[in-house]
Chain A
Amino acid sequence: MADQGFVISVLAAAITAGTPILYAALGELVTERAGILNLGVEGIMLVGAVSGFIAAVAFESSWIGLAAALLAGGMVALIHAFLTITLRANQTVCGLALTLFGTGLSGYLGKAYIGMPVPQPFVAQSLPFLSGIPFIGPIMFNHDILVYLSYLLAPLLWLFLTRTRPGLHLRALGENPAAADALGINVFFLRYLYVCIGGMLCGVGGAYLSLAYAPSWLENMTAGRGWIAVALVIFALWSPLRAMVGSYLFGGIDALGFYLQVKGVTLSPFFLTMLPYIFTIVALVAVMARRGGKLAAPGALGLPYDRESR
């Protein structure tokens, strides 16, 4: 560890690379906590990325872009909510459909925007005082505002889930909707709400790529990050704080590939690009094997709720 500057830049890059995954993972976590499996994360991220980009170009403001991504993510998730909650459709198939549709739609809408720059991308702004902390400062507090927001979002979501009454209700939706219903919790409305909120967060994850990380639009620019986020929720055992750690771990693997190349490691770039996917498999297997294949997933995850068969 002679080269401290190198370590700092890799760790700082791990955070930026992990942030889009973190937003998407938190979105999926909220959705799954409500008992709905949404495998459309990859598609929603792409729609978020492209609509954020288009709005940012049209209005010359990345904040408006972000708002557009929120809205678009929520709208796409609403389709999933309608199909799975009202029509009780197969959640796995609907999620896959959403990913395929989102990939196609984003490719179609974004065709004219390939290679265009973002007028005002989110750029790194180092925080006063905090960025001065040795080692930690340059790693954690020299980023764009969306990174800082995600620092707040994950702990707040954890507090919400574990310490508040609405958070308890949210968990009840996913654990035992019939019991929640009996307690007078509006299962249908709240499941709709949380699926949409989850979609909005996935949309932000996508917009982070097109407005801050890249910042540009490319067809299929998420490159599997949505699926990594789905895996991460399992890896994190449905806990927002573990999801945060996991995201930076994945971000680190992502960043490491790039920095190894800079350092002149003679490994084909194709293998370096493979790393996050291989790591996803390894991480998922590690967590499953350690727990003997049994996880404390939300009890009613993936099951449609039919009030009459209560």
Chain B
Amino acid sequence: MLFPCAVKLEKRLAPSTAMTLATPVISVILALLFCAVFLALTGQNPLDVYIAMLTGAVGSAYGLSETLVKAIPLMLCGLGISIAFRMQLWNIGGEGQLYMGAFAATWVALSFPELPAWLLLPLMVVVSMLSGGIWALIAAALRAKWQVNEIIITLMLNYIGSLWVSYLVHGPWRDPKGHNFPLTAPFSPSALLPTLGDSRIHAGLIFAIVLMVLLYVVFRQSRWGYEIRVIGANETAARYAGMNIKRNIYLVMLASGAICGLAGMTEVSGIVGRLQPNISPGYGFTAIIVAYLSRMNPLAIGIVSLLFGALQVGGYYIQTFGVSATVSAMLQGAILFFVAGGEVFTQYRLVVKSVKGAVARG
């Protein structure tokens, strides 16, 4: 043993509810402390940086609205990813599915600009969801058929999806009137999601809230939600109970990818109004943390998305003082590994034993 048995983990009889609730909070605090070390090492005052991030994110009406704007794609991708995670299917491809959704929505918007909004917007929603879903289905099919690791496939599809969008906006879809910038032509007004007043908060928020409630009900009440949970907890048991694992791999990934694809649609239609490269600063990746930190609970995903939206906005804000925005990425990763590490304490309790006793036990 590396540690001479002075501290031991002992299995709890039942998972601790207190620890389940406390872990995410403690994890965030520990992650802040952990990253403070790196900030201090590079000559920054961690407290100043954190206060600046907080001020940037929630210190003004603009900051708050931006936090909400960043939280929308996080909610959508987080909800999408959580469906797969519930089945222990690791969809790491939210980012690529978002890009494919954005691509498909743009295709509809640029092809049928004359359609009225009541027709065009739903069409964009459907096509973007199909596109994201199909992108995720590639990984599902390979996993169902040959047990190919879905983590690696979805990740590779992220790179391919974002390069595909780059290709389009640098090549065939580039706006001839765009001064050679890699942008498509702007969408017609009927292809734009309505926004709240003159803020950037758009109707994607409504999609996110509807899906949140819908998934909450599905996970809680439906047979499908139950099946997903059982398969995730114990695949063998689920098979004996007659559940169709393969069909669920397809269904779950389709749903998961479709919602991430929708996030791509709301970004191009609600925020940018055209397609451009880098439409997402890594929402698909941050959403992994959001989903995990929320323990795949749809309502918690809503709240945690706001926190991570704030982190994103705070990250941009400190850039104005010459501190890299990657601080927020660093914090996100740290939060995730403290959550993963802290999870053990819901199942185990820490017991401190005398070193002598441990030696006696051999």
The interface of chain A, by Cβ under 8 A from chain B, is: 39, 43, 79, 82-83, 86-90, 92-94, 96-105, 107-109, 111, 186, 188-189, 192, 219, 223-224, 227, 230-231, 234, 268, 270-271, 273-274, 277-278, 280-281, 284-285, 288-289, 292-294, 308
Contacts and interface: CB of A to CB of B under 8 A. Distances in A.
Interface residues of B, number: 51
A47 to B, nearest CB: 11
B324 interface: yes
B340 A90 contact: yes
Contacts of A97: 289, 333-334, 336-337, 339-340
Chain A interface, >50% SS class: helix
Contacts of B340: 83, 89-90, 93-94, 97
Contact of B148 (A105, A107, A186, A285): A285
Contacts of B3: 86
29 contacts: A88-B344, A93-B337, A94-B340, A96-B92, A97-B333, A97-B340, A98-B333, A98-B337, A99-B333, A100-B329, A101-B336, A104-B328, A104-B333, A105-B38, A107-B329, A108-B327, A108-B330, A192-B2, A219-B326, A231-B149, A268-B171, A271-B167, A274-B159, A274-B164, A281-B142, A284-B149, A288-B147, A293-B146, A293-B147
Interface of B: 1-3, 9, 11, 38, 42, 90, 92, 142, 145-149, 151-153, 155-157, 159-160, 163-164, 166-167, 170-171, 285, 288-289, 292, 324, 326-334, 336-337, 339-341, 343-344, 348
A168 to B, nearest CB: 22
Contacts of A101: 329-330, 332-334, 336-337
Given A89-B344, A90-B340, A111 B326 contact: yes
A284 B337 contact: no
Contacts of A102: 333
A293 B331 CA distance: 37
Nearest to A294: B147
A188 B2 CA distance: 7
Contacts of B343: 89-90
A108 B336 contact: no
A257 B164 CA distance: 16
B265 to A, nearest CB: 22
A288 B148 contact: yes
Nearest to B331: A104
A280 B152 contact: yes
A223 B2 CA distance: 36
B160 A100 contact: no
Contacts of A109: 38, 42
A97 to B, nearest CB: 4
Given A97-B339, A103-B329, A108-B38, 7 more contacts: A43-B333, A87-B344, A94-B341, A231-B149, A274-B159, A281-B156, A293-B145
Nearest to A308: B11
A145 B327 CA distance: 35
A184 B90 CA distance: 36
A101 B330 CA distance: 5
Nearest to B315: A104
Given A227-B152, A281-B153, A105 B159 contact: no
Contact of B326 (A108, A189, A289, A294): A108
Contacts of A192: 2
A270 B337 contact: no
Given A93-B292, A284-B152, A292-B146, A278 B160 contact: yes
B171 A277 contact: no
In the complex, which of the residues B153, B285, B324, B340 has the most CB atoms of chain A within 10 Å of its own CB atom? B340
Nearest to B322: A111
Contact of A224 (B159, B333, B334, B337): B159
A18 to B, nearest CB: 17
Nearest to B345: A87
Contacts of A94: 337, 340-341
Contacts of B336: 93, 96-97, 100-101
Contacts of B153: 281, 284
Given A92-B90, A92-B151, A107-B326, A270 B334 contact: no
Nearest to A232: B152
B42 A86 contact: no
Contacts of A280: 152, 156
Contacts of A234: 149, 152
A103 B289 CA distance: 14
Contact of B333 (A90, A100, A292, A308): A100
Contacts of B328: 104
B156 A268 contact: no
A203 B288 CA distance: 25
Nearest to A80: B337
B140 to A, nearest CB: 13
Contacts of A92: 90, 151
Contacts of B152: 227, 230-231, 234, 280, 284
A163 B345 CA distance: 41
B216 to A, nearest CB: 23
A79 B121 CA distance: 47
Contacts of B289: 97, 100
A285 B152 CA distance: 11
A274 B337 contact: no
A108 B322 CA distance: 11
A53 to B, nearest CB: 15
Contact of B167 (A189, A230, A270, A293): A270
Nearest to A271: B167
A107 B148 CA distance: 31
Nearest to B337: A97
Contacts of A288: 142, 146-148
A99 B336 CA distance: 10
A292 to B, nearest CB: 7
